[in-house]
Chains A and B, each alone.
Chain A
Amino acid sequence: MKNLIKLIMIAATGMLIANAPVNAQSKPLRIEINQGVIEPMPIAAPKFVAKGNGSQEYANQITAVIVSDLAGSGLFREIPASAHISNITNFDAPVQFADWKAINAQALITGSVNVSGDNLTVQFRLFDVFAQSALGDGLQFQAGKGSWRRMAHKVADAIYARLTGETAYFDSRVVYISEEGPKNARRKRLAIMDYDGANSRFLTDDNDIVLAPRFSPNNKEIVYTSYASGSPKVYLMNVDTLKQRLLDEQPGMTFAPRFSPDGTHVVMSLTEGGNTDIYMVNLQNGGKTRLTSGTSIETAPSFSPDGQQIVFESDRGGKQQIYVMPTSGGTAKRISFGKGSYGTPVWSPRGDMIAFTKISKGRFHIGVMRVDGSNERLLTASFLDEGPTWSPNGRVIMFFRETAGASGAPAIYSVDVTGRNLKRVKTPSFGSDPAWSGLLK
């Protein structure tokens, strides 16, 4: 990332501690997200205090993004400012806990925003209102003004992590396919946006069909499929410089590329003579190893987070089903056994689950199962839901949903791994094939 965000801990002020009654018995404020949250935790996030000229607009927007991130996760509910009794006008003044307790805010977020020249400083503190104590140290982020959204996401990430005990996913990006035009002449472009749909920008023009991009583990490169040469071929692109190169110069159509977790290899499908198999390409020396064989279709490979296994789809049993094989190739084990077809398996970053597309009785579903195929759960259903991708913390899945008919078009959605909190991710035009980055550094 070009814009570095500097992180500093703010020493807890004596005042805050002095005013907080010591309550050694209380457990830390914590929301458990394993089972899906029925009742979001009520939080108050009064507008961050603007310090200095020109800070107010940033303070307003940064607070709004933090609230949008937290409430959008489905785990938290914002208590609107109209219900607040206290105002926070001084970031360092003692918190009137009774005023926040009275409106049943369990957590309170306070912050300040200071613009100085081109630099922006954001500070925040998180409080357990009922325990009347700070949750962790205050934090300060410093960066250029242009990074204000990322700083807001970083604050929200820190709050999410403290309140859930898990890493978050707000300071992340999504690379996707932006689509325009009629269904039989779609114009497709590679595009990249923040996880919440903000800051969308194009990475390619619409001259060639482009498909299914994926991030490298360091989020700096993507692999994708383009028809630039007339037939589908896998390309590698640097997201900052937009420099691209053909991954494999040899004949044959290539598609469905994904990076290995260490970023040194790309696994993909190669079609020759009508037969599609999975190959591993070494990015250092260009060497190519074949991992599957036979006349069946093998595609949509995805690495396990430890790099030891690859999950993929194959119709070797007659229909699209999901299989797992060692990264070196060799014997594959089928893991999907339900009725219908299964495709596009993606290994969760936590390593515990596989997300997939299921086609059954003319409907499409996004679902998850354990890596041994047990505990299959379908999260969505529609005319066409396809292409799951995991949030960096493995708690949320993004996918695309295409509507039926002559005017049918795709849009990007997200859903919690519990099946709750289904919502559309706003993109400037039609969107498909989302792929989530890791958390940005």
Chain B
Amino acid sequence: MTSMKLTFAAIALIGLSACDSNSSLGGLGKDRGAPSSGGISQSNLDPASIAYFNETIGDTVLFLVDQSTLTSEATALLDRQAAWLLDNPRNSVTIEGHADEQGTREYNLALGARRAASVQNYLVSRGLTDARISTVTFGKERPLAVCSDEACWSKNRRSVTLVTGGLGS
């Protein structure tokens, strides 16, 4: 009994199907959507209030997959945001940049930062001063919608303009 060696054969790449234990549950997720305005009709909102900004003007800009360029819908919304901010000079904003879950964590942080900067640059181009705008990225850490298909992903690829200071703060 001298041969103590186990013998092995070279193994080609092991079938990946063995690892495919997670079938997609896409579509089952309930879309939470944006927070509702709680039944307050917009006519009751002070146009200088943050609630007015969030609900009537809109705080969220959406992006295409892996993109930070602004769509025409996005620039139209940002034009209204910029106008409001020029009318309400005591307010500052923080732009949050977000990504959907279809990317790696650190890349998505960088992508969220790019989206936030894209919004910031546009607002500056509309006359806002840099000093009033800060940015933060959340990458894929804070999804708004939680299903795993495009219906949710499209809502998560977003920037959110958070107004601080001034009236209603």
Contacts and interface: CB of A to CB of B under 8 A. Distances in A.
B2 A26 contact: yes
Contacts of A418: 11, 14
Interface in B1-51: 1-11, 13-14, 16, 18-22, 24-26, 28-30, 32
B148 interface: yes
A343 B106 contact: yes
Interface in A387-411: 387, 401-408
A306 interface: no
Interface in B97-144: 101-107, 109-111, 113-118, 120-121, 135-138, 141-144
Contacts of A382: 19-22
Contacts of B121: 274
Contacts of B118: 274
B107 A320 contact: yes
A359 B141 contact: no
B146 interface: yes
B74 interface: no
Contacts of B30: 406
Interface residues of A, number: 77
Interface string B40-84: 000000000000000000000000000010000000000000000
Contacts of B144: 184
Contacts of B93: none
A35 B11 contact: yes
Nearest to A408: B148
Contacts of A315: 107
Nearest to A415: B19
A350 interface: no
A211 B107 CA distance: 13
Given A232-B137, A274-B117, A299 B110 contact: yes
The A contact surface, by secondary structure, is: loop
Nearest to B17: A381
A184 B105 contact: no
A363 to B, nearest CB: 9
B141 A253 contact: no
A52 interface: no
A230 B13 CA distance: 44
A37 B6 contact: yes
A320 B146 CA distance: 25
Nearest to A276: B110
B11 A256 contact: no
Given A276-B113, A344-B106, A420-B14, A406 B1 contact: no
Contact of B19 (A39, A269, A380, A403): A380
A157 interface: no
A297 B5 contact: no
A415 to B, nearest CB: 8
A218 interface: no
A35 B10 contact: yes
A287 B133 CA distance: 28
B8 A274 contact: no
A28 B106 contact: no
A27 B146 contact: no
B106 A299 contact: yes
B14 A320 contact: no
Given A381-B19, A419-B13, A30 B4 contact: yes
Contacts of A297: 107, 110-111, 114
B4 A253 contact: no
A318 to B, nearest CB: 10
A184 B143 contact: yes
A405 B116 contact: no
A186 B30 CA distance: 17
Nearest to A378: B16
Interface string A398-437: 0001111111100000000011101000000000010000
Nearest to A131: B4
A408 B25 contact: yes
Given A27-B4, A271-B110, A406-B25, 8 more contacts: A36-B8, A38-B9, A253-B113, A274-B113, A274-B115, A344-B106, A359-B104, A386-B105
Interface of B: 1-11, 13-14, 16, 18-22, 24-26, 28-30, 32, 68, 101-107, 109-111, 113-118, 120-121, 135-138, 141-148
